[in-house]
Chain A
Amino acid sequence: MIEIRNLTKTFAGADGNIEALKDVSLTINDGDIFGIIGMSGAGKSTLVRCINMLERPSSGSVIIDGTDIGLLSPQELRALRRSITMIFQGIDLLMQRTCLKNVCFPLELTGMKKQEAEKRALELLDTVGLKDKALAYPAQLSGGQQQRVAIARALATEPKILLCDEATSALDPQTTQSILDLIRDINERLGITVIMITHQMSVVESICNSVAILDNGSVVEEGLVSEVFSHPKSDAARRLVFPEGESTDLAFDDENSHIVRVVFNGAKATNTPLITQMALDIGIAANIAYASTRCIGNGVFGTMLLSISGGAEKVGQVIDYLQGTEDVFAEEVDLNV
């Protein structure tokens, strides 16, 4: 279990101090995929770097399985870092080493024998589906493949916690999905606690079970993903749920209408008009209040807000219908908080 208690971090800036984190407290349970979402500059990266002490908090503590890691000696901290590994947004592979040697790197640091390390590295490359690229150099791989190698490397020391700092932000939607699937698979099979730092709703929705919304250095909302996103209470949460700003600006039929948020995660809906088809199939007409979708490859990615008049029963039908479509996620959003 990771307990973050009253964490603050202040940087000395050119014009006064900048408070990157303000009294942040969070509890992350073992085996969670915990999302930390926020706009850039919200303090996400600083927060995640405090979890392995790459960044020393100004005050407050990070307690992992009962140990206050701020009190560890440099040696103890280095040992701890083998059980809390990290993957980053940018390329952080060693460019002059083959993929195999990159995965061997953290094992080399522990003094493991070369043959043993290479054997383990090869198994890990197999896990991420890149066994055949073992002798290739990172520059010869695509961005998604490089991130897979980074994941294999992060798993080499059999960590308990995997920190992902915008690990998919530089990738296209399809590659993002495959990397997210891999992370979920690792979480399920190995029981590794995953902390996902991201600014993308889609990332949190597709794999996280819990989420904390960070805004301007403070946690403004925290809880299960389904609860936080269906009842956005804070401004920051509403900005994430209603991408174009305030929900009141959107065109809704009347005050009794219900809002359903539909998320497309690569759904093969390009050839079938989903909303029209829904009207035909179950006889409920939905007003599209907001839509921002893109077709990439064969899939649709993006978000749509539907306004539906009528009772809760109808809304339930709509959600059931939409959830029945592959790679589409739908939930009711509470507007009147």
Chain B
Amino acid sequence: MFDKLFSSEVLAEALDIIMTEFPLAVWETLYVTVLSTFFAIVIGLPLGILLVVGEENGILPLPKGLMRILNIVINLLRSVPFLILMILVFPLTRLIIGTVVGTAATIIPLVIASFPFIARLAESSLREIDPNIIEASLSMGATPFQIITKVMIPESVPSLISNATIAITTILGYSAMSGIIGGGGLGKIAINYGYYRYKYLVMFIAVILLILLVQLFQTIGTRLAVRLDRRQKNKKSPE
């Protein structure tokens, strides 16, 4: 299978593909991942907040039935395999984007697949907050909205960023998968050249680029989370 991986003609051909197709593919992968993550956070973060504050003992208890429905919907969406979900939401994608193939069209299924995941991640971040801090805020006369915006979210920023990093790397993986049914980017190149046309070198390079992207996101995310965390003792105060 791999015996002709490094012959000179294979190398030349791969180089040609890399020069002509990779810049666009990397760009497509990046923007699909970033945009999908953005929209998934826009939907998922408020849901994660609702999951915490809407509980029976939360600061803004919601009707039990509503909470149950919310939990069921989130679990349901999370249990559908991504590729199946992508096919299932074709009608919605066509409605919003106008087509079901291409780079932009993968954003819809990516957002739908990942916002429930992000809601759960946000939920776990927000649950890390010391309940004493919430009680203290209540004792100072904070409204539920003020507690959410001034206490819960700012206090869990380091954890939220760590979890957003997990989300963006997961979404990057999903976006590569979408190459199978019409998505663009590095995933499409890996499948089209590597799987359908046996050009394994191209596939490997596409995979290596995906790995590098994951590393990049993870490094930025971890650094940001550490830098924004004020809980470390030995950190110098900004003066």
Binding site for B on A (CB under 8 A): 52, 54, 77-82, 85-86, 88, 90-98, 105-106, 108-110, 135-140, 153, 157, 163
Chain A residues with Cβ below 8 Å from B228 are 96
Select which of B136, B141, B157 is within 8 A of A92 by beta carbon.
B136
Contact of A81 among B139, B154, B231 (CB under 8 A): B139
B132 engages A81 (CB within 8 Å): no
B233 smallest CB distance to A (angstroms): 5
Q: List the A side residues contacting B239 at CB < 8 Å.
A: 135
* Chain B residue at minimal CB-CB distance from A82: B141
| Contact indicator A88/B141 (Cβ below 8 Å) | no
Of the residues B146, B154, B233, contact of A96 by C-beta under 8 Å? B154
- A14 to chain B minimum Cβ distance, whole angstroms, is 16
The residue that B232 contacts in the complex, of A86, A110, A139, with Cβ under 8 A, is: A139
Interchain CB contact under 8 A, B155 and A106: no
A-B pairs, top 9 by smallest CB distance, nearest first, are A92-B136, A81-B141, A78-B141, A137-B230, A86-B139, A106-B140, A92-B132, A136-B237, A139-B231
Q: Does B142 count as interface, using CB distance less than 8 angstroms?
A: yes
Pick the contact of A140: B137, B157, B235 (CB < 8 A). Answer: B235
- Tell me whether A140 and B233 are in contact (CB under 8 A): yes
B35 at the A interface (CB under 8 A): no
B141 contact from A94, A109, A136, A153, Cβ within 8 A: A109
B135 CB contact (under 8 Å) in A92, A138, A140, A153: A92
Interface of chain B residues 138 through 162 with chain A (CB within 8 A) = 138-143, 146, 150-151, 154-155, 157-158
Asked if A96 and B155 sit within 8 Å, CB to CB, the answer is: yes
B98 to chain A minimum Cβ distance, whole angstroms, is 43
* Cβ-closest chain A residue relative to B232: A139
A92-B133 in contact (CB<8A):
yes
**Given A78-B143, A91-B130, A54:B235 Cβ within 8 A:** no
B157 CB, nearest partner CB in chain A, Å: 6
Residues in chain A near residue B136, CB distance under 8 A: 86, 88, 92
A95 touches B140 (CB 8 A): no
Whether the Cβ atoms of A135 and B132 lie closer than 8 Å is no
- B81 in contact (CB, < 8 A): no
Most chain B beta carbons < 10 A, residue from A77, A88, A140: A140
- How long is the Cα–Cα vector from A315 to B32 in the complex, in angstroms? 87
- Find out whether the CB atom of A85 lies under 8 angstroms from the CB atom of B132: no
CB of A52 within 8 A of CB of B139, answer: yes
Minimum distance in angstroms from A242 CB to a CB of chain B? 34
In the complex, the answer to whether B232 meets A157 with C-beta atoms within 8 Å is no
Can you offer 25 A-B residue contacts whose CB atoms are under 8 A? A52-B139, A54-B135, A54-B139, A77-B141, A78-B142, A80-B141, A81-B138, A81-B141, A82-B140, A85-B139, A86-B136, A92-B133, A93-B133, A94-B154, A95-B231, A96-B228, A97-B154, A97-B230, A105-B137, A105-B140, A106-B141, A135-B238, A138-B230, A153-B140, A157-B140
Contacts of A86 in B (CB 8 A): 136, 139-140
* Chain B residues whose C-beta falls within 8 Å of the C-beta of A96 in the assembled complex: 154-155, 157-158, 228-231
Chain B residues with Cβ below 8 Å from A139 are 230-233, 235
Chain A residues, CB < 8 A from B139: 52, 54, 81, 85-86, 163
Q: Which residues of A contact B130 (CB under 8 A)?
A: 90-92
Q: Which residues of B lie under 8 Å from residue A90 when comparing CB positions?
A: 130, 132
Could you tell me the distance in whole angstroms from the C-beta of B131 to the nearest C-beta in chain A? Answer: 10
Task: Given A108-B150, A109-B146, verify A95-B141 contact (CB < 8 Å).
Answer: no
Within 8 A of A (CB), among B15-34: none
Q: In the complex, A74→B140 CA distance in Å?
A: 13
Residues from chain A with a CB closer than 8 A to the CB of B237 are: 98, 135-137, 140
> Do A79 and B141 contact each other (CB < 8 Å), given the known contacts A86-B136, A91-B130, A96-B154?
yes
CA A98 to CA B236, docked complex, whole Å: 12
Residues of B contacting A78 in the complex (Cβ-Cβ under 8 angstroms):
141-143
Enumerate chain A residues within 8 angstroms of B133, measured Cβ to Cβ: 92-94
- Residues of A near B151 (CB, < 8 A) are 94
Distance in Å: Cβ of A232 to nearest Cβ of chain B: 33
C-alpha gap A110/B140 in the complex (Å):
10
Q: Given the complex of chains A and B, what is the CA–CA distance between A95 and B151 in angstroms?
A: 10
Q: Which B-chain residue is minimally distant from A106 (CB atoms)?
A: B140
Return B132 CB to nearest CB of chain A, in Å.
5
The reply to whether B141 and A54 contact each other, CB–CB distance below 8 Å, is no
Q: CB-CB < 8 A to A85: which residues of B?
A: 139-140
Which residues from chain B contact A105 at a C-beta distance below 8 Å? Answer: 137, 140, 150
Question: Which residues of B lie under 8 Å from residue A95 when comparing CB positions?
Answer: 155, 230-231
Q: Which residues on A sit within 8 Å (CB–CB) of B140?
A: 81-82, 85-86, 105-106, 109, 153, 157
Give the CA-CA distance A138 to B133 in the complex, in Å. Answer: 13
| Interfacial chain A residues near B233, Cβ < 8 Å | 139-140
